[in-house]
Structure 1
Amino acid sequence: MVLLVIAMIVIGGATRLTNSGLSITEWMPIRGALPPLSEEAWIAEFEKYKQIPEFEAEHPGMDLNGFRFIYFWEWAHRQLGRIIGLAFAIPLLILTISRRIPGGRGLTFFSVLLLIGIQGAIGWWMVHSGLQDGMVAVSQYRLATHLGMAFIILGFLLWLFFESLREWRRETGRGEGWLPPIFLLLVYVQIIAGAFVAGTNSGKTYNSWPLMDGRFIPSGYWFQSPWWRNLFENTAAIQFNHRMLAYALLGLFVALAFTYRRNAMLLTPIIVLALLLCWQIGLGIWTLLAVAPLNLALLHQFSSVLVFISTMWLIYRWKRHGNKIPF
């Protein structure tokens, strides 16, 4: 399930970055499992796509073969969503009937199933926003909600996976300190900030580093009203905030690593996380300077998944062994 959700996040990123998310204009959870099977069916789907604003804005010269390409990404994304639901629900039903759910974890398992169902509804809610008059892409707010829910589901699955490796034994440890959970929260906020960068194409502007068009704070940072719209709709502010969160994450990680440097149980995840953070920040700069090409942007999103997984691993270790802080 963890691998399936990772694949879902990466394919979702490709769907967004190739402007494919609005190629299927209807919500058909059952009947939509099959792609068009005839030339007439393909033409009918293409005609539906031509009726939405995105076609004229993004793909006015597209032919049927081009439509097939973007249709594939959205269909694959939705199909994988169906597979994830079945891959979790069917074994869960069997294990429940046979009474083999680990003690005390039943509510957690069914909560994950509920979240997977909610995520499907959020996905259509997101797509529906891009089908409205005047919209040429999905709402960045709904895109961020969709991605945020994906990482919440991934977090639940990772925790269950870590517990299964310990044969579902109850944990008695209690992590001390506040740095690890704050670091996890900041990683999650940075992922959401990345969704706003993708949702507004902010990575294709201010393609210089370390300054933004010769300034530390870009001149267009604060021009929208009310002020809070700058954080979510102003490309200059969105990119600047994403940069600053990266620097904050690096600084917080240095403090965390120094605090727990002598805790042998946390040393391995700290080293792995250090390598991944340096890679992710360097990759982010490279992606920015290259004006966010598809391959680098996708790799950057996949690497954020690895950073999140490593952070969850650190948190799990910290919860069990984090009370051994040297002072």
Structure 2
Amino acid sequence: MDMQQTKGNRAIVIWLYTGVAMIIVQVLLGGITRLTGSGLSITEWKPILGALPPMNEAAWQEAFAKYQEIGQSKYINSHFTLTDFKWIYFWEWLHRNWARLIGVVFFVPFIYFIVKKTIDRSMIWPMVVLFILGGLQGGIGWIMVQSGLNEEDLYVSHIRLAGHFIAALGLLWYVLWFALKLSLPASHRVEAPVLRRLSGWVLGILVVQLIYGAFMAGLHAALAASTWPSINGYAVPPGMFAQGGFWADITHNPITIHFIHRGLAYLLIILIAVWYLRSYKVPQLQGARAAALFTVLLQVFLGVLTVLNANVKIPLAFALAHQFVGMGLLMVMVWAHFLTLPLRR
């Protein structure tokens, strides 16, 4: 599929970039939901009826009673009053309803564009795939929430959290790529196989880094070492292989995850610096080039600030800024990768 920009596509392009912005907000709301411990406050999955919050005092008490049955309430938030519960309920409710709004924003204009014949046949199947990805993302989210709705687990599984997060970023990548195909003509691209391979490596490592970012959030692993540039005074901290197995350590041991997350950040700086230097004389890449270097440096800076201020709990503002810039870096590198797509002869 090689779609070029036309006047008729302008409304579709605006629609798609609006979707990109809404997905970014949704991921940030997910971050707030996680860091405020709000993700388990709604214990039921009601795709339609769940759009409304409890409408009276009795309904609120019922929702609160259901929350009080799970381990998180019993062992961490046993002191919660109904007012406290309403606060965490709000974030999870907003997160779910923003997802519903995204569905409406994508679906209603899609039908309108079909009726008005603004969308040609080459666009229909990619949009169907987009809706499937969106539906799967909602399903993954509920599977994640279910992992914490019991008396044993105090939080959702960080593995499922990472799956939910990466699925959201995959949706963001897909919509952005689709929008770029419609908004950027071939004259903006350049044949650069070496740079394309290098940006592909950056994207691959960045995806792994973002997975580890989700592990960091899910396990509150920033609290394992609130020092920089050392990790609790070490370059390689002790206790990294204390879980009884390599895979267990790299997926469940907070200090190991912390070490890997930092190491991947340094590796990304090096790779993006190399890409930056190699793309110096390519006019089509100058915007992406500057944005990539600035974004990765800002991302590392915010990561350092988050770690240094993570003494008792993770600082919400720094953590959200770190997550936001991480998404920005992903989008910049997707843009850079797109600009080196092979040109049709």
Normalised by the length of structure 1, the TM-score is 0.94
> How far apart are residue 320 of structure 1 and its match?
5.7
Q: Secondary structure at the match of 2:299?
A: helix
Q: Which residue of 2 aligns with 1:176?
A: 193
Alignment of 1:314 with 2:336, yes or no, is yes
Compute the displacement of 1:97 (Å).
Answer: 3.7
Aligned-partner SS, 1:135: coil
Q: Which moved more, 1:217-226 or 1:138-147?
A: 217-226
1:189 maps to 2:208: yes
2:124 paired residue number:
106
1:265 to 280, 284, 291: 284
Q: Distance in 1 between matches of 2:84 and 2:324?
A: 26
CA shift at 1:137, angstroms? 0.3
The equivalences for 1:83-232 within 5 A come to: 83-166=101-184, 174-177=191-194, 178-232=197-251
Q: CA deviation at 1:58?
A: 2.0
Offset at 1:170? 11
Unaligned stretches of 5+ residues in structure 2: 1-18
Whole-Å separation in 2 of the counterparts to 1:173 and 1:267: 12
- Going from structure 1 to structure 2, the CA distance change for 1:172 and 1:301 (only over 3 Å counts) comes to closer
**AA partner of residue 308 (structure 1):** L
What letter corresponds to residue 188 of structure 1 in structure 2?
V
Where do 5+ consecutive residues of structure 1 fail to align? 322-327
Q: Which moved more, 1:244-253 or 1:224-233?
A: 224-233
Provide the C-alpha distance between the structure 2 equivalents of 1:170 and 1:108, rounded to a whole number of angstroms: 23
Name the counterpart of 1:324. none
- The yes-or-no answer on 1:74 pairing with 2:92 is yes
Q: 1:262 to 1:279 in 2, by over 3 A?
A: same
1:248 match: 267
SS at 1:105 equivalent: helix
Q: Distance in 2 between matches of 1:251 and 1:275?
A: 13
Q: Deviations over 1:83-119 (max 9, x none)?
A: 1111112222232344322452222111111000000
Secondary structure of the 1:232 match is helix
Moved more, 21-30 or 226-235: 226-235
Aligned with residue 21 of structure 1, among 36, 39, 48: 39
SS in 2 for 1:160: helix
Q: 1:61 aligns with which of 67, 70, 79?
A: 79
CA distance in 2, matches of 1:96, 1:225: 56
Amino acid at match of 1:240: F
Query: Which residue identity is paired with 2:250?
Result: L
The letter of the residue matching 1:248 is L
**TM-score w.r.t. structure 2 length?**
0.89
Do 1:180 and 1:318's aligned partners in 2 also have CA atoms closer than 8 Å? Answer: no
What is the total number of aligned residue pairs between the two structures?
320
Post-superposition offset of 1:35: 0.3
Q: Is the 8 A contact 1:13 1:298 kept in 2?
A: yes
| Alignment RMSD (CA, Å) | 1.7
Q: Aligned pair in 2 of structure 1 residues 218, 157: CA closer, same or farther (>3 Å)?
A: same
Match of 1:59, SS state, is coil
